[in-house]
Amino acid sequence: MNAESDERTGDSAAGQEAELGSRAPEFIKSRRTLHLSWQVGVFVVGLAVVGAGIVMLPLPGPGWLVIFGGMAIWATEFVWAQLVLRWTKRKVTEAAQRALDPKVRRRNIILTTIGLVIVAALLGVYLWQYGFVMPWKIDR
């Protein structure tokens, strides 16, 4: 039974991935002017969300998350955004799989440890040389 349900979810996931295009309700898609207005509205809302995400990149806030949220809004209506989101999901999944590789994890832990040792050594030298004085208050 589990194998059958796994196959069904695999088939339905493949079916969902295959369908591209507008997800607007049928009564909106059936009227050209209404559908065009709907698309303009979706584009403007998505643009506002993506713009807010771009503003959040240098400022505090979840910039990339908001940008991907805007892309998801666009993906409800535009095929190009759906394809971009599929590509992004595939790349994120590949990166997550690479990060879980034991060799990569070991290398990352070693590099992080070396970096922390270097920072601690530099901090120790600074404190030994100047004490607890802020760098902009040093009189040398």
Model pLDDT, residue 4: 44
Model confidence band, residue 139 (pLDDT cutoffs 50, 70, 90): confident
Model pLDDT, residue 69: 92
Model pLDDT, residue 51: 94
CA distance between the termini of the chain:
77
Cα–Cα distance measured from residue 56 to residue 71, given in angstroms and rounded to the nearest whole number? 15
What are the residue boundaries of the structural domains of the chain, listed by start?
Answer: 2-99, 101-140
- pTM summary value: 0.55
Model pLDDT, residue 32: 83
* Model confidence pLDDT, tens digit, residues 36-88: 888 899 999 999 999 999 999 988 888 889 999 999 999 888 889 889 989 98
DSSP characters over the chain = -HHHHHHHHHHHHHHHHH--S--S-HHHHTSHHHHHHHHHHHHHHHHHHHHHHHHHTTSSS-HHHHHHHHHHHHHTT-HHHHHHHHHHHHHHHHHHHHHTSHHHHHHHHHHHHHHHHHHHHHHHHHHHHH-S--GGG---
* Model confidence pLDDT, tens digit, residues 8-47: 344 444 445 557 777 777 777 777 888 888 889 999 999 9
Model pLDDT, residue 136: 76
